[in-house]
Amino acid sequence: MAKGHFGLIGLGVMGENLVLNAERNGFSSVVYNRTPQKTEEFLAGRGSGKQIEGAYSLQEFVDKLERPRRILMMIKAGQAIDDTIASISPYLEQGDLLIDGGNSLYSDTERRVAELESRSFGYIGMGVSGGAKGALEGPSMMPGGTRQAYEDIRSLVERMAAKVDDGPCVTYIGPGGSGHFVKTVHNGIEYGVEQILAEAYDMMKRGAGIEPAVMADVLGQWNSMEELSSYLVEITEVCLRTRDPESGGPLTELILDVAGQKGTGLWTVISALEMGVAVPTIYESVNARVLSSLQAERVKAESVLHGPGPMTLDLGTPGNGMAPLRDASILSIMASYAQGIALLQEASRIHHYDLNIAGIAQIWKGGCIIRARLLQRIQDAYRQNGELPNLLLDPWFAEQVNRRLPGLRQAVSEAVRAGIPVPCFAASLNYIDSYRTARLPQNLVQAMRDCFGSHTYQRIDREGTFHTEWLS
What's the Cα-to-Cα distance from 274 to each of 192, 315, 343, 364, 466, rounded to whole Å?
A: 19, 38, 10, 25, 28
Residue with nearest beta carbon to ligand NAP: 12
Residues that bind ligand NAP (CB under 6 A): 10-15, 33-35, 38, 74-77, 80, 83-84, 102-103, 128-129, 131
What's the Cα-to-Cα distance from 391 to each of 279, 328, 357, rounded to whole Å?
A: 13, 17, 11
What's the Cα-to-Cα distance from 201 to each of 16, 214, 325, 429, rounded to whole Å?
A: 34, 11, 9, 18
The total number of residues shown for the chain amounts to: 472
In whole angstroms, give the CA distance from residue 188 to residue 267: 8
Catalytic residue among 23, 53, 64, 183: 183
Choice between 43 and 416, CB closer to ligand NAP: 43
Phi-psi domain of 174 (left: phi exceeds 0; alpha: psi -120 through 50; beta: other): left
In whole angstroms, give the CA distance from residue 298 to residue 472: 49
Choice between 80 and 275, CB closer to ligand NAP: 80
Residue 183 annotated in active site: yes
Choice between 126 and 328, CB closer to ligand NAP: 126
Catalytic residue among 16, 23, 53, 190: 190
Cis peptide before 441 (omega within 30 of 0): no
Residue 220: Cβ within 10 Å count: 17
Min dist CB 104 to ligand NAP, Å, is 7
Choice between 31 and 313, CB closer to ligand NAP: 31
Q: Which of 390, 362, 386, 393 is nearest to 375 (CA)?
A: 362
Min dist CB 363 to ligand NAP, Å, is 14
Choice between 101 and 321, CB closer to ligand NAP: 101
Choice between 76 and 298, CB closer to ligand NAP: 76
Choice between 71 and 77, CB closer to ligand NAP: 77
Half-sphere exposure for 105 (CA within 13 Å, toward CB): 14
Min dist CB 13 to ligand NAP, Å, is 4
> Residue 310: enclosing H or E segment and its boundaries?
none
What's the Cα-to-Cα distance from 258 to each of 180, 196, 254, 295, 347, rounded to whole Å?
A: 27, 16, 12, 7, 32
Residue 38 annotated in active site: no
Enumerate residues 6+ apart whose C-beta is below 8 A from 184: 103, 105, 106, 127, 264, 267, 268, 271
Q: Which of 432, 286, 278 is nearest to 346 (CA)?
A: 278
Min dist CB 140 to ligand NAP, Å, is 10
Min dist CB 15 to ligand NAP, Å, is 5
Min dist CB 36 to ligand NAP, Å, is 9
Min dist CB 8 to ligand NAP, Å, is 10
The SS3 assignment for 471 reads: coil
The residue type of 352 is H
- Would you name the residues annotated as active-site residues? 183, 190
